[in-house]
Amino acid sequence: MTQRVIVAVAMLLCAGAALAQTYPAKPIRIIVPFPAGGGADLWARLIGQKLAQAWGHNVIVDNRSGASGIIGTEASAKAAADGYTLLLGTTGTHTTNPVVFAKLPYDPVKDFAPLTNFVDTPFMLVVHPSLPAVSVKDVVALAKRNPAQATYASFGNGSSAHLAGELFKSAAAIDIVHVPYRGGAPAMADLMGGQVSMMFNSLPAVIPQVKAHRLRPIAIASSIRTKGLPEVPTFAEGGLPAVEAGSWYGVFAPAGTPSAVIGKLNAELVRMLQSAEIQQRLVVEGADAIGNTPEQFAAQVERDIAKWSKVARASGIRLD
């Protein structure tokens, strides 16, 4: 290494260290590509509150919903790469949209600098109480014996709940009818009304209904049981270890954001997961703290894209 190169590297390291010390110097904006009140909005506001407390600068949550999260995600990809615009991204924005939409105005890998996967909320398969099934084996047997009786709802064509249902169908070698809805609320309403027989949905949405005996839990699509309903087995315990699905909520910056800023943001996001307030929220929401490194999160995004690409191709899911 020449003397000139050594000096250049040293200058870059010093500049990075100085930037980390002065960042942030003004308010930070977190774009949420979904409406207020949902899971992404909840975590973004909690993150914003904690960042503001830690760093003494306002954090603005900017809800830019529409087009399955595409509008807000595109806006964040095109923002200045200076650490002052972040994205609360999800499984949908970064791993299912890319495999079901024929064309996206952003690249989920090239256009973003992953900071950390903040939390995971696994899916649970729940059924209407009238369905004569209490286990994974029961549901599979019912679907094989009487396919017309087995229908599953989702948030919409190409949604994470749709892909989870197709993953289940493939793993169990069954054929159940998909009934898409425009969002989780109408799907849950029809499930509890008995118009459809089952659904994959996140734990925060199903736990209250299970505890009120409006829905019956079958299995959790995670490698471990949940603290919220510890009596519910995993799909692996039911003989289908391949059925793992859910929603994760992670933080991204635009590609090109300085590594010193990424490192400082990652460290603070991971640290805040240890706070009593967030730990309590995790239990209430049925979520799991993740807090991985930028490199681990980037690898996770690419693994998930590959996984859901196979499911989408096999089931023929494609949206214009």
Contacts of 240 (CB under 8 A, 6+ apart): 136, 168, 171, 172
Q: What is the pLDDT of residues 241-278, one digit of tens each?
A: 999 999 999 999 999 999 999 999 999 999 999 998 89
pLDDT band (50, 70, 90) for residue 183: confident
How far is Cα 93 from Cα 278, in angstroms, rounded to an integer? 24
Domain limits at 185?
122-220
Judge whether 138 lies within some domain: yes
Average pLDDT over residues 31-51: 93
Same-domain pairing of 273 and 138: no
Residue 158 Cα distances to 60, 99, 170, 226, angstroms: 30, 9, 16, 26
Same-domain pairing of 98 and 113: yes
Roughly what angle, to the nearest 10 degrees, separates helices 160-172 and 294-315? 70
Check residue 15 and give its pLDDT.
Answer: 47
Same-domain pairing of 30 and 117: yes
> Please, what's the b/e burial string for 18-38 (b: 16 or more CB within 10 A of its CB; e: otherwise)?
ebbeebbeeebbbbbbbeeeb
pLDDT at 10 exceeding the cut of 80: no
The last residue of a domain, from among 156, 185, 220: 220
The last residue of a domain, from among 220, 236, 257: 220
pLDDT band (50, 70, 90) for residue 11: very low
Check residue 148 and give its pLDDT.
Answer: 76
Same-domain pairing of 84 and 132: no
Whether residue 77 contacts residue 254, with contact meaning beta carbons closer than 8 Å, is answered with: yes
Check residue 60 and give its pLDDT.
Answer: 98
Check residue 8 and give its pLDDT.
Answer: 44
pLDDT at 16 exceeding the cut of 80: no
Whether residue 317 contacts residue 100, with contact meaning beta carbons closer than 8 Å, is answered with: yes
Same-domain pairing of 189 and 264: no
Q: What is the pLDDT of residues 44-78, one digit of tens each?
A: 999 999 999 999 999 999 999 999 999 999 999 99
Q: What is the pLDDT of residues 194-250, one digit of tens each?
A: 999 999 999 988 999 999 999 999 999 999 998 888 999 999 999 999 999 999 999
pLDDT at 280 exceeding the cut of 90: no
Judge whether 12 lies within some domain: no
pLDDT at 2 exceeding the cut of 70: no
Whether residue 222 contacts residue 244, with contact meaning beta carbons closer than 8 Å, is answered with: yes
Q: What is the pLDDT of residues 88-143, one digit of tens each?
A: 999 999 999 999 999 999 999 999 999 999 999 999 999 999 999 999 999 999 99
How do strand 288-289 and strand 151-154 relate by DSSP bridges?
A: unpaired
Instruction: Extract the tokens encoding 38.
Output: 């949902």
pLDDT at 161 exceeding the cut of 90: yes
Judge whether 133 lies within some domain: yes
How far is Cα 14 from Cα 38, in angstroms, rounded to an integer? 41
Q: What is the CATH number of the domain that holds 269?
A: 3.40.190.150
Judge whether 295 lies within some domain: yes
pLDDT band (50, 70, 90) for residue 37: confident
How far is Cα 273 from Cα 47, in angstroms, rounded to an integer? 9
pLDDT at 17 exceeding the cut of 70: no
Judge whether 10 lies within some domain: no
Check residue 220 and give its pLDDT.
Answer: 97
